[in-house]
């Protein structure tokens, strides 16, 4: 195995960032101007995380291709960190959304699309009852709130390395001594995590059982395959043990498939027959229109109706708040977007192609890595693949953390951008959409080949 030289990696990063700045003067100037208007230079703080030192300013995007204001063309494997999994500007989404926009975007009334969408959600993800929110973060919050309402418990258990959006309870991690700490980058903000959160390592059944045994956890919130701290899979039997431990302790199970929807048309839940009490999905399912969805099991719905009756009492004119969702949740526009996506875009057939292409890309990436004797691991989950820069398959966040090389990852991202390939800035994740082609993958593989050769030559020269 090749040993990388950290000084050589750092020198290459400086060189590539200089090149990036030279190639993108307008994007750079735009980001500098944005400092006067935005807290972190751009409309969302996430946008500054691209490793060029500033984000590209996008001019247009179509299918898998994106063009920036500096006139460069990119193959986009980031796809908005999955929000763009339909491919950019998909005609069916554009038509469905534009048609509804012209008929009324938000009416505080259901449209006929809602019946089709409700039925389709159950067909794909199996849970019988659904609610809309405006983001996956908010859908997780709704699920947590219901879990607390029906269990009367306060704590939420999450796994180390998780990300579930701006859900306060999930902003925790395991410290070096196994203690609960705030997640890196999170600052104390008066939320008492000791009161509301618990965190254990993914795949650690004994720790999970011990944490639930106290009987104070309302719900476990997890992805069925972790994607947000490097991709790591459940070990055989782990998800069954999780379900059993929840059932045994009266804890509710929220499966968050916001990212793992890329596993296939029904996410991991559909494919593996998982039996969550709540199911959450967002981002891609709205084709770019802000949508979150939470599904609820029959048993949880019945408990919920005992707390908050199904039929509104006629004498109550005020204070009928349920405490979740918002006025734009379930809007005609959102429902039309989900209908267009599930009917025409993220279909069984499209997933078949996307998953096959991702598998091919993973296999060919592995062979480039092996040929160059680099100590890297390629993870694959449905239409999504990711390279981790250490040799062994990780099974929890500590495995990932121990093998992480932030400078190498930053270098790789900017090197790829300089050669027309966009990879998700927070991970080295590549996602397929229905418009992805073997030609797109070829472009990535060519750049990877050049990257490995240049990296090794630079390290050997040092």
**Residues near ligand PMP, by CB under 6 A:** 81, 135-137, 163-165, 223, 228, 256, 258-259, 282-283
Using the minimum distance from each CB to ligand PMP, give the nearer residue, 425 or 434.
425
Contact indicator for 67, 73 with CB cutoff of 8 Å: yes
Q: Shortest approach of ligand PMP to residue 133 CB, angstroms? A: 9
How would you class 349 by CB atoms within 10 Å of its CB: exposed for 0-12, middle for 13-18, buried for 19 or more? exposed
Q: Shortest approach of ligand PMP to residue 205 CB, angstroms? A: 22
Q: Shortest approach of ligand PMP to residue 367 CB, angstroms? A: 29
Q: Shortest approach of ligand PMP to residue 290 CB, angstroms? A: 7
Task: Find the angle CA(454)-CA(358)-CA(404) to the nearest 5 degrees.
Answer: 50
Using the minimum distance from each CB to ligand PMP, give the nearer residue, 293 or 300.
293
Strands (E), 291-356: 292-296
Query: CA–CA separation, 106 vs 221, rounded Å?
Result: 31
Q: Shortest approach of ligand PMP to residue 383 CB, angstroms? A: 15
Q: Shortest approach of ligand PMP to residue 294 CB, angstroms? A: 11
Using the minimum distance from each CB to ligand PMP, give the nearer residue, 87 or 290.
290
> Buried b vs exposed e over 389-424: b needs ≥16 C-beta within 10 Å?
bbeeebbbbbbbbebeeeebbbbbbbbbbbbebbbb
Angle between the 6-23 and 25-34 helix axes, to the nearest 10 degrees?
90
Using the minimum distance from each CB to ligand PMP, give the nearer residue, 221 or 441.
221
Q: Shortest approach of ligand PMP to residue 83 CB, angstroms? A: 7
How would you class 185 by CB atoms within 10 Å of its CB: exposed for 0-12, middle for 13-18, buried for 19 or more? exposed
Using the minimum distance from each CB to ligand PMP, give the nearer residue, 163 or 389.
163
Query: CA–CA separation, 149 vs 248, rounded Å?
Result: 19
Query: CA–CA separation, 400 vs 335, rounded Å?
Result: 38
Query: CA–CA separation, 346 vs 333, rounded Å?
Result: 18
Using the minimum distance from each CB to ligand PMP, give the nearer residue, 264 or 303.
264
Using the minimum distance from each CB to ligand PMP, give the nearer residue, 283 or 303.
283
Using the minimum distance from each CB to ligand PMP, give the nearer residue, 113 or 223.
223
Q: Shortest approach of ligand PMP to residue 84 CB, angstroms? A: 12
Beta bridge partners of 66: 61, 74
What is the 3 state secondary structure string of 386-437?
EEECCCCCCCCHHHHHHHCCHHHHHHHHHHHHHCCEECCCCCCEEECCCCCC
Task: State the residue number with the nearest CB to ligand PMP.
Answer: 165
Place of tokens 């750079």: 28
């Amino acid at each position: 195995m090749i040993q990388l030289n950290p000084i050589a990696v750092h020198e290459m990063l400086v060189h590539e960032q200089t090149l990036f700045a030279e190639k993108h003067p307008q994007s750079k100037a735009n980001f500098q101007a944005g400092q006067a208007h935005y807290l972190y230079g751009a409309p969302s703080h996430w946008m500054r995380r691209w490793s060029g030192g500033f984000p590209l300013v996008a001019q247009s995007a179509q299918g898998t291709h994106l063009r920036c204001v500096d006139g460069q063309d990119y193959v986009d494997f980031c796809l908005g960190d999955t929000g763009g999994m339909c491919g950019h500007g998909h005609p069916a989404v554009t038509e469905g959304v534009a048609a509804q926009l012209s008929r009324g975007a938000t009416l505080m009334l259901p449209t006929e699309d809602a019946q089709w969408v409700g039925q389709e959600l159950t067909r794909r993800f199996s849970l019988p009852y659904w609610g809309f929110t405006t983001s996956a973060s908010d859908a997780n919050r709704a699920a947590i709130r219901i879990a607390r309402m029906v269990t009367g418990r306060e704590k939420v258990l999450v796994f180390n390395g998780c990300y579930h959006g701006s859900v306060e309870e999930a902003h925790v991690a395991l410290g070096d001594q196994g203690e609960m700490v705030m997640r890196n980058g999170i600052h104390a903000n008066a939320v008492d995590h000791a009161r509301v959160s618990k965190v254990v390592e993914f795949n650690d059944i004994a720790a999970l059982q011990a944490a639930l045994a106290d009987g104070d956890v309302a719900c476990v919130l997890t992805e069925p395959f972790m994607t947000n701290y490097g991709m790591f899979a459940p070990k055989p039997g782990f998800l069954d043990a999780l379900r059993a431990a929840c059932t045994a302790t009266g804890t509710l199970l929220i499966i968050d498939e916001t990212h793992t929807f890329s596993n296939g048309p029904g996410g991991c839940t559909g494919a593996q027959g998982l039996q969550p009490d709540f199911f959450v999905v967002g981002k891609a399912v709205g084709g770019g229109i802000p949508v979150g969805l939470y599904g609820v099991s029959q048993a949880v719905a019945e408990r919920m109706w005992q707390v908050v009756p199904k039929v509104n009492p006629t004498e109550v004119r005020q204070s009928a708040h349920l405490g979740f969702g918002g006025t734009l949740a379930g809007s005609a526009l959102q429902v039309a977007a989900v209908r267009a996506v599930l009917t025409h875009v993220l279909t069984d057939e499209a997933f078949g192609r996307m998953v096959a292409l991702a598998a091919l890309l993973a296999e060919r990436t592995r062979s480039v890595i092996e040929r160059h004797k680099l100590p890297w691991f390629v993870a694959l989950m449905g239409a999504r693949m990711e390279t981790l820069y250490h040799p062994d398959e990780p099974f929890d966040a500590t495995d990932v953390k121990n093998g992480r090389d932030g400078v190498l990852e930053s270098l790789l991202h900017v090197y790829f951008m300089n050669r027309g390939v966009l990879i998700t800035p927070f991970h080295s994740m590549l996602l397929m959409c229905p418009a992805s082609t073997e030609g797109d993958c070829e472009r990535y593989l060519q750049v990877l080949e050049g990257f490995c050769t240049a990296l090794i030559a630079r390290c050997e020269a040092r």
